[in-house]
Amino acid sequence: MWFGSPAGLPILNSGKESSAPMARPRRWAVIVRVSVESQTMQDRILDAAEQIANAVGIRKLRVDQVATDAGVSRQSVYNAFGDKAGLAQALCVRSFARVLDGCEPVVVACGSDPTDALAEAVRHVLLDAMRRPLLRLALRGDEERSVVPLLAVQAGPLVVYVRERIHGLVAALWPRLGGDRVELVAELVTRLMLINLICPTESPDDAVRTMAGIVRTVMAAPD
């Protein structure tokens, strides 16, 4: 995979590992070195939490119910994720990881223009994320039920994770690009993508065109 988890570590809740380390790995609070056994337990907890969240919403998750459905103790849930907020964040990150995993075949199918490939990857994210009920609720909330988007107040881990994945993609598409320029493009793309997901002001197609234009401008600027 061209863009994986920081330092090539397994993502706590993605269900798969990356073989390629990030160019500039950072620490991420939800990523830990775990045994296969504990990884399986964490997956069971997240699977149970996802089923409950899809039924009642992320903010109504109850640790005791998640523990019961996962067949583990409440303490095991706290040991794995810290608290309810950590569990909710990990759940969102895993769901977004699956969206980002789908970018690779999209990028491979594109031609030789790296900006076009990046644009198609962003288009995939904008469309696929909104097809997932859990992410849609976390990103945009529910006005009818007065549910504030979870990521409006607890976005840190997800933003860090998405930025690292986009950083890896940019570095792979432009292998000779300087580190500072890679960092800038990754930051711009991440911000534009998440803004469009959380509070869209234009259609996905228009958002992708805007992003591609900005990237081309940045790439054309002198060093």
Supply the pLDDT for residue 5: 41
Which range, 49-63, 102-116, 147-161, is most confident?
102-116
The third-level CATH classification (topology) of the domain covering 6-17+29-220 is: Tetracycline Repressor; domain 2 (1.10.357)
**pTM: predicted TM-score of the whole model, two decimal places:** 0.75
Residue 155: count other Cβ atoms within 10 Å of its Cβ.
18
Domain segments of the chain: what residues?
6-17+29-220
Q: Which two tokens stand for residue 73?
A: 């103790």
pLDDT, mean of residues 112-129: 94
Q: Which residue has the higher pLDDT, 186 or 139?
A: 186
How do residues 15-26 score in pLDDT, each as one tens digit?
A: 443 433 333 333
- Of the listed ranges 40-49, 107-116, 148-157, 158-167, the one predicted with least confidence: 148-157
Q: Minimal CA–CA distance to 192: which of 219, 217, 169, 214?
A: 214
Rounded CA gap, 212 and 221, in Å? Answer: 14
Assign 147 to helix, strand or coil: strand
How do residues 185-213 score in pLDDT, each as one tens digit?
A: 999 999 999 889 888 889 999 999 999 99
